[in-house]
Amino acid sequence: MKEGKILIVGGGIGGLTAAIALRGKGFEVDLLERDPTWSVYGVGIIQQSNVVRAVAQLGILDDYLEAGFGFDHVEVYLPDGRQVAKIPAPKLAEGYPANIGIGRPALHKVLGDRAKASGANIRLGVTSESLKDDGAGVDVAFSDGSAGRYDLVIGADGLYSATRRAIIPDAPIPEPTGQSVWRYNFVRPDDVTCLCAYEGPMGIGLVPLSADRMYMFVTTPETPGRRFEREGLAAEMRARLRNAPPRISELTAKITDDDEVVYKPLECLFVDGPWHRGRIVLLGDAVHATTPHLGQGAGMAIEDSLVLADELAKADTPEQAFEAYQARRFERCRYIVERSRAIGDAQLGKGPPADTAGESRKMFEITAQPI
Ligand SMILES: Cc1cc2nc3c(=O)[nH]c(=O)nc-3n(C[C@H](O)[C@H](O)[C@H](O)COP(=O)(O)OP(=O)(O)OC[C@H]3O[C@@H](n4cnc5c(N)ncnc54)[C@H](O)[C@@H]3O)c2cc1C
């Protein structure tokens, strides 16, 4: 397919990178984002070396680096605070750091600005109400009463994807894992210059985001789906860090603002069967939502976007492109979802103990393979 009009449902990391990649191949792109304010929460994200390579292929690596913090190692610590490993991450983009920590709002701005500049037509506060695929195209009714016809539709609408429900009604639903993540931003101390990960039943980590910011994440066992009132959230997070190593305890005292705590119960999902039906295809969390234990969920969505655009530009039919896309993505995404879940289960005492350093080394080795 050398040309065509494509609708992307969802303006998150997957949808925006798909828009940039598809515009780069010359496709016409409309993108729908249902959130009229298009907001993201204010903590950060780790982009590992394979993601740095993918972002370089998208042509936006300099913007990323300017908005984030590059680093080349992962430091692993025991629960008592002793360092046990310093794992080098492969450098997959020549002349650039191996990994990047970046604030979600900063990342969203880079991707949103680039998607707009690429010529994608972005519509906020709008979603698709119905998708009718007649074999030659897809008729879409929008929530604002308007309508459109597209050659293809991409569902990049995340874990609770309505597009997935529409085309694969018997797909699995998101599964709560029994863990939640607590996150908080801090001023970055001089000694946090890479991801610092603490082993133990609670996964704790420090991630540099910029010259002056970093965030802490803490993964704790919680009743599946448990939510908290905003008032008292900082005290809840501090309580979970009571027996943390000294470096973490020093920071714990600074967790005081309920509004700055970002709490998220973890869920995962993997669609084992086809990721498309007819002219409609899924990417990112809509088909493979992982827990964050390997820091690769957004990375997989970004790689999906590159591979899908590549296959669409090469293939004669959507079917050929979608099958080739899934074949290139399936095992890699499955590995990330399954191993991330296994690390979480180990922390919960539900599976064999996880070797954090070994898992990180293996993840770097596997994801360094070409996509
Ligand atoms: C606690 C936590 C920490 C994480 N840390 C990392 C990390 O360090 N590194 C990493 O690579 N990944 C990380 N991830 C994973 C990463 O956040 C996700 O994999 C990534 O955001 C998936 O992108 P997506 O575009 O597929 O979905 P989303 O980011 O969920 O985006 C979906 C978008 O679609 C919109 N939408 C939904 N429904 C509709 C609709 N019907 N119509 C229109 N728009 C719609 C939503 O508003 C949203 O903007 C983490 C995840 C969690 C939960």
Q: Using most ligand atoms within 8 A of CB, pick from 122, 180, 285, 291 the residue to mutate for ligand 1.
A: 285
List, for residues 334-347, the tens digit of each pLDDT value: 999 999 999 999 99
The SS3 call for residue 147 is strand
In whole angstroms, what is the distance from residue 188 CA to residue 207 CA?
9
Distance CA 89, CA 101 (A): 13
Q: Residue 221: is it exposed, middle or buried by C-beta count within 10 angstroms (0-12/13-18/19+)?
A: middle
Whole-number Å distance, alpha carbon 327 to ligand 1 midpoint, is 22
Q: How far, CA to CA in Å, does 81 sit from each of 46, 64, 89, 312?
A: 22, 31, 22, 49
- Within 8 A by CB and 6+ apart from 43, the residues are 103, 104, 183, 184, 185, 215, 217, 262
Question: What pLDDT score was predicted for residue 352?
Answer: 87
pLDDT of residue 353: 85
Mark the ranges of the chain whose per-residue pLDDT is less than 70.
Answer: none
- What is the pLDDT, as a whole number, of residue 200? 82
Digit-coded pLDDT (tens) for 98-141:
999 999 999 999 999 999 999 999 999 999 999 999 999 999 99
* Structure confidence by residue, pLDDT tens digits, 293-316: 999 999 999 999 999 999 999 999
Q: CB of 103 closer than 6 A to ligand 1?
A: no
pTM: 0.97
Is domain 5-174+267-367 in CATH 3.40.710.10, yes or no? no
Look at ligand 1, atom 1, and give the residue with the nearest C-alpha.
Answer: 181
Cβ of 165 closer than 6 Å to ligand 1, yes or no, is no
**Total count of residues recorded for the chain:** 371
Q: Is the C-beta atom of 116 inside 6 A of ligand 1? A: no
Sign of the C-alpha dihedral computed for residues 323, 325, 326 and 332 taken in this order: positive
